[in-house]
Amino acid sequence: MTRAAPARLCRFVSLRFRPHIYVTYGLLWVLALESSAVTATGTAWQPSGATWVRVVSVVLALLFLRMLDEWKDLAYDRVHHPDRPLVTGAITVAELRGAMAAITLVVTALNTACSTTAALLLLAALGYGLLLTALERLSPAVRDRQLLDLAVTYPVQVLLGAYVYGSLVAAGSVTADWRGAALLALSACVFLHFEFARKTAWEATPGARLYSAGLGPRRSAAVTAGFAAGAVGCQVPLFAPDGPLGLLPCLAVALPAWGTRRFLSAGRGTWPLPAAMGFVVVTYLSLVVRAVLLP
């Protein structure tokens, strides 16, 4: 790397990994998953040093995957997004690789200090991301078919969730049981609601990677709404025993309900993205507030 590489990397992060979005998402996701896992066992929760290791590790892993996506999508971006940093030369592939190697070393060191199991789980997620890069280059079907690509790439998010939960199990904070699977399913539904919402529109420009281009706008909207409903469904068996406070996060479903009605009644344009983003933030923030307020 050149001396200018750190400044170039900082500009890349500000453009392609907007901290107010990705850091907020990583923070809320980890806190919601950890606090829900602990309180589901009937134990009071409060963040610890290990909590912040998980937060930092997930945020850095998301940055690693963002860098990997830029590298993976370089050929596509040369045609459809000529202003992207890697296309314009604002950063190089070598600089991205160097940053990815540094991230791997940092998260490995952080987690090994806590638990070897945690370090291995996180490395599995990063390794799966690297495997996807090779797979997409070898398989045009995976690269070009949007739904197949999602089916193949989404498990990396599951692996990050498994890292958070697995590190809690390794630390003795929780005992692995069905609630872990339910929490990972809840996280999956929240993420996939947003993922489908941002790629659902009535119109599709040539080359646009939209789920609605293959499913049609109405079916894509139904899937988007279905994931929001699934997130609520996962919460009922987990938190209903805690009474009304336990089900407080379910109120976030009002946002996707409004988004679905707005999209279908408009008959044009895109899904109202603020509603989808709000669903993620409100759900995870409510889960944290619920855990803090529980006796």
Domain tally, the chain: 2
Distance between CA atoms of residues 49 and 284, nearest Å: 20
CATH code for the domain of 103 = 1.10.357.140
User: Are 164 and 196 in a shared domain?
Assistant: no
Distance between CA atoms of residues 19 and 80, nearest Å: 24
User: Are 24 and 149 in a shared domain?
Assistant: yes
Domain end, chosen from 156, 173, 190, is at: 173
Domain end, chosen from 116, 144, 173, is at: 173
Quick check: 242 and 294 in contact, CB under 8 A? yes
What is the token pair recorded at 48? 């610890």
User: Are 109 and 156 in a shared domain?
Assistant: yes
User: Are 132 and 198 in a shared domain?
Assistant: no
What is the token pair recorded at 225? 């709404």
Quick check: 58 and 123 in contact, CB under 8 A? no
Q: What is the largest CA-CA distance in the chain?
A: 58
Q: What is the pLDDT of residue 4?
A: 67
Q: What is the pLDDT of residue 207?
A: 66
User: Are 35 and 161 in a shared domain?
Assistant: yes
Comparing C-alpha atoms, which of 77, 48, 60, 45 is closest to residue 13? 60
User: Are 24 and 110 in a shared domain?
Assistant: yes
User: Are 165 and 186 in a shared domain?
Assistant: no
User: Are 117 and 102 in a shared domain?
Assistant: yes
User: Are 181 and 140 in a shared domain?
Assistant: no
User: Are 160 and 207 in a shared domain?
Assistant: no
CATH code for the domain of 231 = 1.20.120
What is the domain extent for residue 259? Answer: 177-295
User: Are 258 and 284 in a shared domain?
Assistant: yes
Write out pLDDT tens, residues 103-143: 999 999 999 988 999 999 999 999 999 998 888 777 777 77
Burial pattern 141-178, b for ≥16 Cβ within 10 A else e, equals ebbeebeebeebbeebbbbbbbbbbbbbbbeebbeeee
Low-confidence ranges of the chain (pLDDT < 70): 1-4, 207, 295
Q: What is the pLDDT of residue 60?
A: 97
What is the token pair recorded at 211? 């789920």
What is the token pair recorded at 130? 């690297």
What is the token pair recorded at 203? 């119109």
The CA angle 262-268-271, to the nearest 5 degrees, is 50
pTM metric for this prediction: 0.92
Domain end, chosen from 130, 154, 173, is at: 173
User: Are 128 and 223 in a shared domain?
Assistant: no
